[in-house]
Structure 1
Amino acid sequence: MTLADASLTALRVFREVAERGTLTAAAAVLGYTQSAVSRQIAALERAAGAPLLERHPSGVRLTPAGHVVLRRAVAVVAEVDAGARELAGMPDRPATVRLGWFASAGALLVPRALAALSRSHPAVTVVTREGSTPALVRAVRAGTVDLALLASAPPFRPPDSEAPALALRTLTERPLLLALPAGHPLARGEGVDIVDLRGQRWIAAPRAGEDQLMGVWPGLDERPEIVHTVRDWLAKLALVAEGFGLTTIPASLAGAVPPGVRVLPVRGGPQEQRRLLLARLPGPLAEPAALLSDALRAAAVETSAPFG
């Protein structure tokens, strides 16, 4: 038995597992039982003659052989789907771009970029999905998104260590900002000294899969007082507006804060820069994706303009 004997179902299942990161998540999306997913993966491994996945407590990772099979699976499934559309008399979708984005990018950046692209190139269709950085990176690798917007913090490591390395375009690099109630004593000036952040109350949430808190100013020399744990950015800012605490925001969100919130830079301590990255698989970029990339770059510069 060789890889040429692998079924299309097994290839689809494997692609879904590679994207979702766990057999359980893939089974839920596909509507299969976990044992059915496991059987398809086992059949594909027999056909490939090598293990394709490494099992870890947090999920699965592709082996070197798994990466080879994934690249082939993505190409085969795409060709079969294109053939099915052609046989059904449906037009192909060469002008469709699939974009993944991290949560706060949807507040201002993504809608602004899509609106600009729609005006300049109405024939280009963009379909989008929100996700965490690990999920978006897996989706890029699995070929289910063409481009992914990622946020990156120092020391600015690559989003994963797999080969080939993803092609990364830096759209902007701007300082992290502080959002605080307009009536807060620290909101009276044009900036906040880092020493004055000691003893403040914070609205924050854990970063997906990590211990690091999003919403607390990095590097505080005390254990922060977290009064509200919130993942939704708009909910965080609404709580700030009502005076319940402080939070941090990327520069791209500064133009989307509600009334009652001031956004200020923080003085002192190390520079807390944030990069906005656009990730994709290496290789030539199709024209529709290139047009979307440029629209995202223009919107990123606009929404991340120096605040004040």
Structure 2
Amino acid sequence: MAFSDASLVALRVFREVAERGTLTAAATALGYTQSAVSRQIASLERAAGSALLERRHDGVRLTSAGRIVLRRAATVVDQVDAAARELAGLPDEPATVRLGWFTSAGAVLVPRALAALRRTHPGITVTTREGGTPALVRALRAGTLDLALLASAPPFRPPDTETPPLRTQTLTERGLRIAVPTGHPLAREEFIDVADLHGQRWIAGAAAGEERVMGVWPGLDERPEIAHTVRDWLAKLNLVAAGCGITTVPVALAVALPAGVRVLPVRGGPAEQRRILLARLPQPSSEPVARLADALRAAAIETHTSA
């Protein structure tokens, strides 16, 4: 079986697996059974004459052959979809940019950038999706995102170890702070001593697709009491305002606080810095992608300045 005989269905399934990171997640997204997904991957591997995926306990990882096939599969699927739209008499979408972003970027940074882009380039349409860093990186690799805003914490490693490396740019670096109810004892001072975080009730939750807990001060030398598990930042902050606990927030969110919340820096222990990265594949950008990147950079500077 030659690779030229690979089916379009198999290419779509492979692209979905590469983006989702597991056969199970791809099957759910496509409405297939896991065995059907496995059969499509097996047929594509036979056509390629090589293993395309490395099966691991935490999902799958592309082999070197898999990275080649993914790059070509993304192009083929996109071209077939464009042809289908043209045959159906639907307009093409040359000015559409697909943006992915980590959770807290949706509070201030993304809306500011999109509002500015609409004013300067109203012909550009931007579609967005929220996700955890691993999922966004896989989507970039699969070609279903053009740009992604990623959150990076020390020691600031590359987003993944695949080749070629993603092209990343640091938009801003900001500190991590604590959000407390205005009536909380910790809100009486201009900072919080790290020792005073002991014994606090936390509002936290796992980031999408990640195991680390978001909302608890990093490096806390005790098992934290997590009173509420929440992913949504607005819900976290409103729970803080209601006196239900405290949570960590990036400095940029200080401009989007609900009433009844105060944000304070922490004194003592290592500085907790976070970076916002703009990531894309290492290939020339289209004009719409470049314009959105410019808008995101400008919004990051504005947000950093006003925080």
The bucket for the TM-score relative to the shorter chain is over 0.9
Q: Distance in 1 between matches of 2:272 and 2:62?
A: 33
1:219 aligned partner: 219
- Deviations 1:10-34 (Å, cap 9, x if unpaired)? 1111101111111122122222222
Which residues in structure 2 correspond to 1:1-308 (within 5 Å)?
Answer: 1-208=1-208, 210-305=210-305, 307=307
Which deviates more, 202-211 or 160-169?
Answer: 202-211
Deviation at 1:58, TM superposition (A): 2.0
Contact 1:107 1:256 in 2 (8 A): yes
One-letter code aligned to 2:260: G
Q: Distance in 1 between matches of 2:126 and 2:236?
A: 28
Normalising by structure 2, we get a TM-score of 0.95
Q: Residues 132 and 207 of structure 2 are in contact (CA less than 8 Å); yes or no, is this contact kept in structure 1?
A: no
**Whole-angstrom CA distance in 2 between matches of 1:154 and 1:306:** 24
Q: What amino acid is aligned across from residue 274 of structure 2 in structure 1?
A: R
Question: Structure 1 residues 50-59 or 114-123, which shifts more?
Answer: 50-59
Distance 2:112 2:173 in 1: 18
Cα distance change on mapping 1:28 and 1:208 into 2, 3 Å:
closer
Contact 1:252 1:300 in 2 (8 A): no
* Structure 1: distance between partners of 2:125 and 2:215: 34
Q: Which shows bigger deviation, 195-204 or 112-121?
A: 195-204
Q: In the aligned structure 2, how far is the partner of 1:220 from the partner of 1:78?
A: 47
TM superposition score normalised by structure 1: 0.95
Deviation at 1:207, TM superposition (A): 4.0
Name the count of aligned residue pairs: 307
Does the Cα contact within 8 Å between 2:134 and 2:210 map onto a contact in 1?
A: no
Instruction: State the Cα distance separating 1:240 from its structure 2 match.
Output: 0.6
Q: Secondary structure at the match of 2:36?
A: helix
Give, in angstroms, the shift of residue 196 of structure 1: 2.1
8 Å Cα contact 1:149-1:277 kept in structure 2: yes
Offset of residue 209 of structure 1: 5.3
- Please say if residues 253 and 303 of structure 1, whose CA atoms lie closer than 8 Å, have aligned partners that are also in contact: no
Change (3 A) 1:210 1:113: closer
Q: Indicate the SS of the match to 2:190.
A: coil
For residues 97 and 211 of structure 2, what CA distance do their matches in structure 1 show? 34
Deviation of residue 238 (structure 1)? 0.9
The alignment partner of 1:97 has SS state of strand
Unaligned runs of 5+ in 1: none
Give the C-alpha shift of residue 303 in structure 1: 2.3
Greater alpha carbon shift after TM alignment, 47-56 vs 208-217: 208-217
| Per-residue CA distance 1:150-193 (angstroms, 9 max, x = gap) | 11110011111111110101111011111111111221222222
1:213 Cα shift?
2.2
Percent identical: 74
Output the CA distance in 2 between the equivalents of 1:223 and 1:7. Answer: 51
CA distance in 2, matches of 1:269, 1:40: 51
- What root-mean-square deviation, in Å, do the aligned CA atoms of Structure 1 and Structure 2 show? 1.5
Contact 1:180 1:247 in 2 (8 A): yes
User: For 1:287 and 1:36, how far apart are their aligned partners in 2?
Assistant: 39
**Contact kept in structure 1, 2:131 and 2:209, CA below 8 Å:** no
In 2, Cα distance between the equivalents of 1:252 and 1:4?
Answer: 50
Task: Name the SS of the counterpart of 2:305 in structure 1.
Answer: coil
Q: Is the 8 A contact 2:180 2:246 kept in 1?
A: yes
